[in-house]
């Protein structure tokens, strides 16, 4: 009996602890939801502050929740749609009397995304309300947005870091040789360079020539836009950046004088002077961050419902590598995106679909699954328009090839029509420390893919044949989808990367423009251009996922280091390379992936 009551009391104690933990978690969840849905009050007159902190993204990328998150936390993120929505709402809001751009903590942003924000700022300026930019320093991507302002002011000792665009990678072949690690790469397309760092010590001549072409296009788009916004002549800017010492010397080493004389800025002043100047134009008003403004003006992290009952343009978005199966936000899972496209197919209210892609590519099998789902939509009479963001290359273009129309930014990185497979081998490395691999099998290829066993020539030949077949399947899809002769696609393919501008001239895309243009094009194809409503089709999200996405949007990571050394930068680059490889999950090990990372 004593034992019975002892066990009973222990059971009740465990039950009590479990219930307390459950109630505690429910309380925390309720508290977070309450705080995040609370609407802060707005002052009578508002200056909307675009205080952008982190990486500018279209989809929030959720971090891994593990011990690594403490040492390598996820970066802060700024959702492009949120900023655009705040500007659109502020333009019509009488309480908002102006905008101030605070961009020094905008860590990274692709040029096509910057152009989308520029468009939103210019639409706001049509309201007649002033827009001012001020900073102590601007990096290249930050200055692009600052240049959209009516007036641009800089600290008297500030700097503007315009450098142009570059493409640099760490090549690890020599290190692998020293370690005794062999990497077998099988590829179709002489420009296909995603696996180049494993088998080369430097960029090849073919890659160098192809990369120079699209980098030049990006830089031309950037400098042409600066000319439109600030009147800075591209040839004068080029000369200044090619010969910085001579340019600075002409102004006695005073950078501020150079920026003022070259009209990069409208004046040099301190922060309180810039604030006073803005107030003199708007009248008494208070700065309100765009996130607080969105919350106060009715926005919630819970998705809004469409207003109309019919004529929807379904918006399906995907960012990150293309992987098999269901995948979280920040990557494109084949099952996840196919389910979104099937939702659009089954819903009679959806008359057309805009597929927004920001991806370097990924699994060939996953890309084909999504491409097929796009084709099924078209077969059922629902037009599909692909809108390319900063990059829609390789597997991204594989998917896009099935669309009725493809829209891109002039600075979009696209093409890269090619495939590769990679098989590492540590047989030599193990021999160095006295470990031998031996055994037998029932076929010539038994155990052929072991890391510790040399790859046989026969198996290598079979892998290359498979790569070649998938490559020909890729270019056939492009030929069929784009109405281009197969021989011509062969010339455009080979894994070569193109800018959106060049892709338009080559027939790989149909038009240049942003997602709004793509939505209008989809409505026209569906013959509903007079009355339609864009409706976002997201994967089903749990309340926890909704909360996490909102928290990660501009979340401040308390463990993040504010100082990065040169060695940290190199190691970070290598971690990214290895991290991308660790994501690969194609069952055949075949990838349509571009390995480009533009630096500024």
Determine phi and psi for 154, rounding to 5 degrees: -130, 150
Give the Cα separation of 315 and 330 in Å (integer): 16
Report the alpha-carbon distance of residue 337 to residue 320 in Å, rounded. Answer: 12
What H or E segment, with its residue span, contains residue 55? strand 54-57
Collect all residues with Cβ–Cβ distance below 8 Å to 443 and sequence separation of at least 6: none
Judged on CB neighbours under 10 Å (0-12, 13-18, 19+), 167 is middle
Contacts 24+ apart (CB under 8 A), 379-383: 380/345, 382/344, 382/345, 382/350, 382/351, 382/352, 382/353, 382/526, 383/352, 383/353, 383/522, 383/525, 383/526
Question: Which helix H or strand E contains 535, and what residues bound it?
Answer: strand 533-536
Residues forming the active site: 192, 394
Alpha helices of 322-456 — where are they, by DSSP H? Answer: 334-346, 364-379, 395-400, 427-432
Measure the CA angle with vertex 548, ends 79 and 40; round to 5°. Answer: 70
Closest CA to 420 of 372, 466, 374, 385: 466
Query: Token digits for 502?
Result: 């060049």
From 134, 133, 145, 149, select the one nearest 106 (Cα to Cα).
Answer: 145
Phi, psi of 274 (to 5 degrees): -65, -40
CA dist 98 to 79, 148, 151, Å? 21, 14, 12
For 381, the token pair is 């009479």
**511 phi, psi to nearest 5 deg:** -160, 160
Full 3-state SS string of 369-399:
HHHHHHHHHHHCCCCEEEEEEEEEECHHHHH
What is the spatial distance between Cα 593 and Cα 487, in angstroms, rounded to a whole number? 22
Minimal CA–CA distance to 457: which of 441, 445, 443, 470? 445
The rounded distance, in Å, linking the Cα atoms of 572 and 352 is 41
- Which residues are paired to 306 by β-bridges? none
Tokens 């892709």 correspond to 503
Q: Which residues, in sequence order, are bridge partners of residue 101?
A: 50, 133
Instruction: Look at phi and psi of residue 544 and say left if phi exceeds 0, alpha if psi is from -120 to 50, else beta.
Output: alpha
| Helices within 147-187 (DSSP H only) | 173-179
């Amino acid at each position: 009996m004593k034992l019975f009551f002892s066990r009973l009391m222990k059971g009740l104690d465990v039950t009590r602890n479990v219930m307390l933990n459950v109630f505690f978690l429910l309380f925390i969840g309720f508290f977070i939801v309450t705080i995040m849905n609370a609407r802060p009050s707005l002052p009578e007159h508002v200056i909307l502050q675009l205080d952008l902190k982190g990486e500018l993204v279209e989809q929030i990328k959720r971090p891994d929740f593990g011990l690594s998150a403490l040492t390598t936390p996820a970066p802060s993120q700024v959702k492009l749609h949120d900023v655009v929505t705040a500007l659109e709402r502020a333009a019509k809001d009488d309480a908002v009397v102006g905008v101030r751009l605070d961009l020094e903590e905008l860590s990274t942003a692709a040029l096509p995304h910057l152009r989308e924000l520029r468009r939103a700022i210019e639409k706001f300026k049509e309201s007649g309300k002033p827009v001012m930019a001020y900073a102590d320093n601007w990096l290249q991507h930050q200055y692009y947005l600052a240049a959209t302002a009516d007036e641009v002011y800089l600290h008297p000792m500030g700097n503007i870091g315009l450098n142009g665009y570059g493409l640099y990678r760490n090549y690890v072949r020599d290190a692998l040789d020293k370690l005794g690690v062999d990497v077998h790469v099988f590829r179709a397309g002489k420009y296909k360079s995603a696996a180049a760092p494993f088998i080369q010590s430097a960029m090849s001549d073919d890659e160098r020539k192809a990369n120079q072409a699209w980098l030049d296009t990006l830089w031309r788009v950037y400098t042409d836009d600066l000319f439109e916004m600030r009147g800075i002549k591209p040839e004068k800017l080029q000369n200044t950046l090619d010969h910085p010492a001579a340019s600075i010397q002409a102004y006695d080493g005073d950078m501020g004088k150079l920026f003022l004389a070259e009209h990069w800025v409208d004046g040099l002043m301190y922060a309180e002077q810039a604030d006073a100047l803005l107030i003199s134009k708007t009248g008494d008003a208070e700065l309100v961050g765009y996130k607080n403004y969105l919350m106060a003006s009715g926005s919630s992290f819970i998705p809004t419902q469409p207003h109309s009952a019919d004529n929807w343009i379904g918006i399906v978005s995907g960012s990150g590598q293309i992987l098999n199966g269901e995948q979280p936000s920040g990557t494109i899972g084949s099952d996840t995106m196919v389910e979104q496209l099937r939702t659009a197919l089954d819903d009679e209210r959806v008359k057309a679909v805009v597929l927004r892609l920001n991806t370097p590519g990924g699994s060939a099998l996953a890309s084909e699954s999504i491409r097929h789902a796009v084709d099924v939509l078209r077969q059922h009479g629902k037009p599909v328009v692909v809108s390319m963001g900063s990059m829609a290359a390789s597997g991204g273009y594989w998917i896009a090839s099935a669309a009725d129309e493809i829209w891109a930014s002039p600075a979009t990185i696209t093409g890269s029509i090619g495939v590769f497979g990679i098989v590492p081998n540590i047989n030599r490395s193990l021999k160095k420390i006295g470990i031998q691999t031996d055994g037998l099998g029932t076929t010539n290829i038994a155990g052929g893919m072991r890391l510790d066993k040399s790859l046989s020539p026969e198996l290598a030949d079979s892998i290359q044949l498979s790569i070649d077949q998938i490559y020909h399947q890729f270019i056939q899809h492009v030929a069929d989808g784009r109405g281009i002769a197969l021989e011509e696609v062969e010339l455009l393919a080979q894994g070569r990367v193109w800018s959106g501008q060049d892709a338009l001239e080559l027939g790989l895309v149909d038009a240049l423009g942003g997602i709004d243009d793509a939505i209008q094009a989809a409505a026209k194809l569906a013959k509903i251009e007079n009355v339609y409503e864009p409706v976002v089709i997201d994967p089903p999200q749990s309340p926890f996922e909704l909360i996490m996405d909102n928290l990660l949007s501009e979340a401040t990571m308390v463990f993040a280091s504010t100082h990065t050394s040169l060695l940290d930068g190199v190691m970070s680059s290598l971690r990214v390379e290895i991290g991308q490889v660790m994501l690969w999950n194609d069952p055949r090990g075949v990838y349509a992936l571009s390995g480009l990372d533009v630096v500024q």
